[in-house]
Amino acid sequence: IKTWLIIAFFITFITTLVYIYGKASGFALTYAGIALIISGIVSFLSYYFSDKIVLTMSRAREIAKKDYPELFRVVENLSIGAGLPMPKVYVIDDSAPIAFASGRDPRHASVTVTTGLLEKLNEAELEGVVSHELSHIGNYDIRVMSIVVVLVGVVTLLADFFTRSLWMGRGDHENRNVQGIFILFGLIFAI
């Protein structure tokens, strides 16, 4: 239910946001209609592919048991203990100690850790971090988190597009006072 509420809020928010941006430039309904279609498509894609998007953006690479046997064994053992299907395991070449889980449900989940985390933690600490990530998988937190990451990225791109479009001028339109109000609203939304 949370996931669908977030998606519905996102589609409504994006359509409203683009309507305000469009009102500031004189093309409100056209832009809002396009935004409704695009936000629906983005929502669908983020639901089914947000984990792959996040993993690609992070430059994570999937590993096999032979690549990092200790990590793989820890994930495998803790998954069995938690009654979860074995998630895919990814590693990111980065010195920062970071771990995260992604996916839309336990059958489509992954656990990702950085090489920095693997270098800095002993086995007991690694088990603690991995079990924390597996709890996100078991509680379906990963679905909400993955979708929100993609959707926030879209909002950020729209805000950037709007603020850049202000520098290009507003064109010749009849009612500049109304446009000025919507430009103010657009700036507030962009912030």
Catalytic residue among 62, 125, 127, 133, which?
A: 133
Using DSSP's 3-state secondary structure scheme, residue 87 falls into: coil
Task: Please count the CA atoms within 13 angstroms of the CA of 52 that sit on its side-chain side.
Answer: 6
CA nearest neighbour of 129 among 142, 139, 118, 140: 118
Please, what is the Cα angle at 176 between 174 and 178, to 5 degrees? 110
Please, which residues have CB within 8 angstroms of residue 48's CB and are 6 or more apart in sequence? 104
**Cβ–Cβ under 8 Å, residues 142 and 85:** no
**Cβ–Cβ under 8 Å, residues 90 and 101:** no
| Distances in whole angstroms, Cα of residue 113 to Cα of each of 50, 69, 79, 161 | 18, 14, 16, 33
**Cβ–Cβ under 8 Å, residues 46 and 151:** yes
- Per DSSP, the chain holds a count of helices (H) and strands (E) of 7, 4
Indicate if 133 belongs to the active site: yes
Q: What residues are annotated to the active site? A: 133
